């Protein structure tokens, strides 16, 4: 199984966590993900995900003026998004401890 496939269920939660920290725009988000070590997928992948998360009402976008010129789209979490993030955190910590106990190296 490739990293990209493994990431599929997890990346949404990570994006929610990053947006939870502060309001953020697309490029910033892609850069943050790369800094955290998610460098196996192309940057543009976040946009279809962001579109879907907006449709699911986990995040909302607002247009704000940027210093560089055109208006920029900033994303923030909705109440539903906050709840989803909390659920993701508890699901992940359970999954993580299960996987860790199965694997011989710790």
Partner 1 sequence: MMVDLSRKSQSFLENLRLYLISSGKEEKEIHSIVEELEDHLIEAEARGKTVDHIVGDSPKEYMKQLSNEMNTNTSSLFKVIMIILFGALSFSILTNAGKDELSYSLLEMIGTVAVSLVLILSIGSVFKYMAAANLSKRKEYALYYLMGMLPIVLFVGLIYLNRLIETPIFTFGRYGTMIAVIVTLGFLIGLSFWSKTWVVLIMLALLVLPDYLLTFIDVQPSTEVVLSSSITFGGIAIYLLLTHRMTKQQSN
In the complex, the residues that contact partner 1 under the rule CB under 8 A are: 25-27, 30, 41-45, 47-48, 51-52, 55, 68-70, 72-73
Which residue lies nearer to partner 1 by CB, 20 or 72?
A: 72
The nearest distance, CB 68 to partner 1, in angstroms, is 8
Q: Name which of 68 and 105 has its Cβ closer to partner 1.
A: 68
Q: Cβ closer to partner 1: 46 or 85?
A: 46
Pairs from 18-27 (Cβ < 8 Å, separation ≥ 24)? 19/59, 19/75, 19/76, 19/77, 19/81, 20/77, 20/81, 20/82, 20/85, 23/62, 23/74, 23/75, 23/76, 24/74, 24/75, 25/66, 25/72, 25/73, 25/74, 25/75, 26/50, 26/73, 26/75
CB of 73 to partner 1, least distance (A): 5
Q: Kindly state the smallest distance separating residue 27's Cβ from partner 1, in Å.
A: 5
Q: Least separation, in Å, of the C-beta of 72 and partner 1?
A: 6
């Amino acid at each position: 199984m490739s990293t990209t496939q493994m990431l599929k269920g997890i990346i949404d939660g990570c994006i929610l966590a990053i947006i939870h920290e502060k309001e953020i725009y697309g490029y910033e988000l892609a850069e943050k993900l790369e800094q955290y070590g998610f460098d196996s997928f192309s940057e543009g992948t976040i946009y279809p995900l962001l579109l879907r998360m907006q449709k699911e009402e986990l995040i909302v976008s607002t247009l704000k003026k940027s210093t560089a010129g055109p208006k920029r789209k900033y994303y923030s979490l909705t109440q539903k998004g906050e709840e989803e993030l909390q659920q993701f955190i508890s699901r992940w910590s359970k999954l993580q401890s299960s996987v860790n106990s199965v694997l011989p190296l710790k």
